[in-house]
C-alpha cells in the first residue's frame, strides 16, 4: 500500500477496532464453519459463547493483529516486518487446518462488517481490497 491507501484503510479500521466482539460474532454468524475450527467454541450456540472471556480474548487477538499490521502499512521500510508477521500467522493457521476458502470467508465477513460500520467509498474499498490482496498473497502461498 502507498501511504495514502494505508491512511484510508487505517481510517476505516479505527472506526471499528473497538468492536472486537461484534466483529468476531459477525464472522461466526456468516460462516459457522469458521466457528467450528475453534476448540473452545465448536458446537456451541454463538449466543452462549459471545459474552465469555475466551471470546473477548480471541476477538482482541485478531483485532490487535490487524491493527499491528496496519500500523506498519504504507511504508516500504516496514514491509519486511509485515511479511514476518503474516508469514507466522499463515504457518500457525496452516497447522490448524484452516483453508484458503475459510480465509476468503473471513475476508468477506470482515469487509462486510467494516463497510457497514465505517465511512466507505470507492477509494476506501479499493485500498481495503488491495490490503487484503497483499496479505493474502503471502498467506495463500503457505497454506
Least distance in angstroms from the C-beta of 117 to ligand HEM: 18
# residues near ligand HEM by CB under 6 A:
18
Segment (H or E) for 20: helix 20-30
Cβ proximity of 119 and 15 under 8 Å? yes
Cβ proximity of 110 and 131 under 8 Å? no
Considering only 106, 109, 113, 124, the residue that binds ligand HEM (CB under 6 A) is 106
> Which residues inside 29-58 make contact with ligand HEM, applying CB under 6 A?
34, 37-40, 58
Helix axes 20-30, 53-72, angle to 10 degrees: 100
Contacts with ligand HEM, residue ranges (CB under 6 A) = 34, 37-40, 58, 61-62, 65-66, 89, 92-93, 96, 98, 102-103, 106
Amino acid at each position: 500500500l502507498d501511504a495514502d491507501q494505508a491512511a484510508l484503510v487505517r481510517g476505516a479500521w479505527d472506526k471499528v477496532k473497538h468492536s472486537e466482539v461484534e466483529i468476531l460474532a459477525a464472522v461466526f454468524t456468516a460462516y459457522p464453519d469458521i466457528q467450528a475450527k475453534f476448540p473452545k467454541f465448536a458446537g456451541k450456540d454463538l449466543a452462549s459463547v459471545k459474552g465469555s472471556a475466551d471470546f473477548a480474548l480471541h476477538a482482541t487477538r485478531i483485532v490487535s493483529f490487524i491493527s499491528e499490521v496496519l500500523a506498519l502499512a504504507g511504508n516500504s521500510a516496514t514491509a519486511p516486518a509485515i511479511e514476518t508477521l503474516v508469514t507466522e500467522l499463515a504457518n500457525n493457521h496452516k497447522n490448524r487446518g484452516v483453508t484458503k476458502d475459510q480465509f476468503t470467508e473471513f475476508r468477506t465477513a470482515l469487509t462486510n462488517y467494516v463497510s457497514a460500520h465505517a465511512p466507505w467509498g470507492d477509494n476506501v474499498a479499493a485500498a481495503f481490497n488491495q490490503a487484503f490482496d497483499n496479505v493474502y498473497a503471502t498467506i495463500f502461498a503457505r497454506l
